[in-house]
Structure 1
Amino acid sequence: MTPTTLEGFGKYNYLILIVSLMASLAQQLSISAISYILPSAECELQLSPEDKGTLNATGYIGMILSAYVWGFLSDTVGRRRLLVFGYLFDGVCNLTGSFAQSYWFLFAFKLLNGVIMCGPLSVQRTYEAEFHSVKYRGKQMMLAGIFMSLANIVIPGIAWLILPLEWSITVFDRKIPISSWRLFMALSSVPSFTTACLIYKCMESPRFLMASDQNDEALKTFKIIYSHNTGNNPDMYAIRCISNQIHPSQPPISSINFKKGLLSIMKICWQQAKPLFIPPHSKNTAVTFMMQFTTLYGFNTLRLWLPQMLTSVQEHLSQQEMTHSSPVIKSICEILQITMSTNVTEDISEAEAHCVSKTADNTVYVNSMMVGIAQGIAFLFAACSISIVGKKTIMGKYLIYFHT
């Protein structure tokens, strides 16, 4: 019997699931909100198609730059502390980015947002899983996937309520305009702040405490979770002492001399990561990296461009109806090229040329929600069948089937 098995499953685990739900919404808003904003912000920020593509990718650039550091910090300062500060600063970045007056201002804050969000993205699921026993861990991870799908349904719903609104006010002595897309971006910071508050009320991962040689604190955490789940007195917890069964994966923060500089810290990081790139782990590392890359590439490429593509298709169909021209089948690339080139129109003379702000049709949001629903059904089916067919089958056959 392991400590997590003896703590049972109850109120505290449900609290972790609520945290997982809010964290999923915060993560998806941090990544996906920009894709819904771009069509509405195109004129105000004078965005070209290349600018839009760069802004969609900027967050991921920040994640790549900071991933290694976050992995080191998660095993050094702790999961809970990293998550609280990560979500807190993510909310600040989203809120500040809503006041962007230029492409480069928004670019800078989306880059910073990616650097910060990489920590919670990489640590959140580990933090959640370490509170569950092996019996419930697989289902909990599948529920986390369902929560991500639910977030992909809620986000276009929120965008549908806010972005079509045609209003604008100015603040700070009429220097900064506030329009619907800025309000949407500002509201995307609320789940991040909420998640930071929820995790602050939770406890540190007991596994991290054991790995950091803080066995007394780990035992105290197990007792509190046991009491929440069962309603019994914490002293009734069956385990009285925890021995060092987990070898520290990282030196505790108190033993690291930060005064030695960044080079010393990077050396420690490399020492911890080096075994991944040499036999016998190198093969598994390569397979894992390839799986992650292809899955995220296939999923995120379509998801981030979906609102822009649907908006352009709808605009192209509307133009054909207005001109009473016969429908011509075109590729999505041709439609994007046509709608981008006609975004600047000429009424009487070139001097009166102006940018036409695009308002997405209702079908854009409905179709985005349908994609999220389909994804949620896939995750729900996987969650129900994982105990029957096994994790490997879910990761292999089902993943290939549902992504095709």
Structure 2
Amino acid sequence: MFGFSMVLAAATCDLQIGITETGILASAPFAGVFFAFPFGYYADTGGRRRALLLSTIVGFTFAALSSFSTNWQMMLAFKILGCSFSTASFALTMAYLGECVGSKQRSRYLIIMVSMDLACEVVSNGIAYFVLPLTFHWPIPWLFITYTPWRLYTLILALPLGIGALLLLCLYESPKFLANKGDTKEALNLLRRIYVINGGIEEKFPVKQIKQPEEINSKTDTIWSSLKKSKLCHYFNLHCCGGLYSCFI
């Protein structure tokens, strides 16, 4: 979402967009937010790490593809689809981090996360300052485009999602989620691995047993069937309609 306004300003000539098209494209990232609501439920039933991987991988894919758009309609479609996944990453990361960090350090790390999110606006503007003034033009005939600085800038803005997805492959699922799901044995094993990675000695791991706080019934029903049974569909429709209504008044 950050830096997209500068992409539009730089892509005006290439994509032949006017004021109307610019306004529609500028609203695309916020339109994608409406479709990010189900990720909270998916994270509670399918897993924090799995939801984050889906969000970052698909978000990166569509964000990168938008840099090769041949017209504004293609960019609009890619941007809405990409933001539908990528906008969920921040809330999912906060939940994932909060469950993987001890209570004494949790507030500190969450504040760092929020600060980094706010700093992204400054960083994206700084990158634009150096990238957009470049003057290269690389024709790509088989894509029917000319690769220009605004396309490179769009790709650079997508890179954090791709890097985040690669780093997630090295991480574990949230032990709290596994415990809530009923897999306390695997949760205990993950806590032991984290303890060793943080410099502890495996034989001195203090936790012997995890008390199961609550159980998420995600084994008997599929995610889609349980989603239809829940109140989330009504919640999503209500907020989506309300949000769309506010765009027209």
Report TM bin, short chain: 0.7 to 0.9
Q: Does 1:256 align with 2:224?
A: no
Q: Within 2, Cα distance between the matches of 1:64 and 1:71? A: 12
Paired amino acid for 2:180: A
Q: Does 1:203 align with 2:172?
A: yes
* Residue 181 of structure 1: aligned partner: 150
Query: Of residues 131, 135, 150 in structure 2, which corresponds to 1:162?
Result: 131
Paired amino acid for 2:196: S
Paired amino acid for 2:111: M
1:328-343 pair list within 5 angstroms: none
Q: Within 1, Cα distance between the matches of 2:234 and 2:210? A: 28
* Residue 238 of structure 1: aligned partner: 206
* Residue 270 of structure 1: aligned partner: 231
Q: Within 2, Cα distance between the matches of 1:211 and 1:257? A: 17
Structure 1 segments unaligned to the other structure (5+ residues):
1-30, 275-288, 294-404
Deviation, 1:56, is 2.0
* Residue 19 of structure 1: aligned partner: none
Paired amino acid for 2:220: S
Q: Within 2, Cα distance between the matches of 1:66 and 1:265? A: 17
Contact 1:78–1:208 (8 Å) recurs in 2: yes
Q: Does 1:151 align with 2:93?
A: no
Query: Of residues 193, 215, 240 in structure 1, which corresponds to 2:184?
Result: 215
Paired amino acid for 1:64: F
Paired amino acid for 1:152: E
Sort the Cα spacing of 1:243 and 1:156 in 2 relative to 1 into closer, same or farther, 3 A. same
What SS is found at the alignment partner of 2:26?
A: helix
Q: Within 1, Cα distance between the matches of 2:51 and 2:62? A: 16
* Residue 194 of structure 2: aligned partner: 225
Sort the Cα spacing of 1:74 and 1:44 in 2 relative to 1 into closer, same or farther, 3 A. same
Q: Within 2, Cα distance between the matches of 1:202 and 1:210? A: 17
Q: Within 1, Cα distance between the matches of 2:155 and 2:124? A: 13
Q: Within 2, Cα distance between the matches of 1:243 and 1:76? A: 19
* Residue 34 of structure 1: aligned partner: 4
Q: Does 1:58 align with 2:19?
A: no
**Number of positions where the alignment pairs a residue of Structure 1 with one of Structure 2:** 237
Contact 1:34–1:55 (8 Å) recurs in 2: no
What SS is found at the alignment partner of 2:152?
A: helix
Q: Which has the larger radius of gyration?
A: 1
Q: Within 2, Cα distance between the matches of 1:128 and 1:200? A: 15
Sort the Cα spacing of 1:117 and 1:271 in 2 relative to 1 into closer, same or farther, 3 A. closer
1:93-104 pair list within 5 angstroms: 93-104=62-73
Contact 2:131–2:149 (8 Å) recurs in 1: yes
Give CA deviations for 1:39-77 in whole Å, capped at 9, x if unaligned.
11112212222322222221221221231x212210111
Q: Within 1, Cα distance between the matches of 2:200 and 2:186? A: 19
* Residue 247 of structure 1: aligned partner: 214
After TM superposition, where is structure 1 displaced by more than 4 Å over at least 4 residues in a row?
Answer: 271-274
Give CA deviations for 1:180-217 in whole Å, capped at 9, x if unaligned.
00011122222111111111101111111111111011
TM normalised by structure 2 equals 0.87
* Residue 111 of structure 2: aligned partner: 142
Q: Percent identity?
A: 24
Q: Within 2, Cα distance between the matches of 1:174 and 1:147? A: 36
Give CA deviations for 1:277-329 in whole Å, capped at 9, x if unaligned.
xxxxxxxxxxxx9xxx9xxxxxxxxxxxxxxxxxxxxxxxxxxxxxxxxxxxx
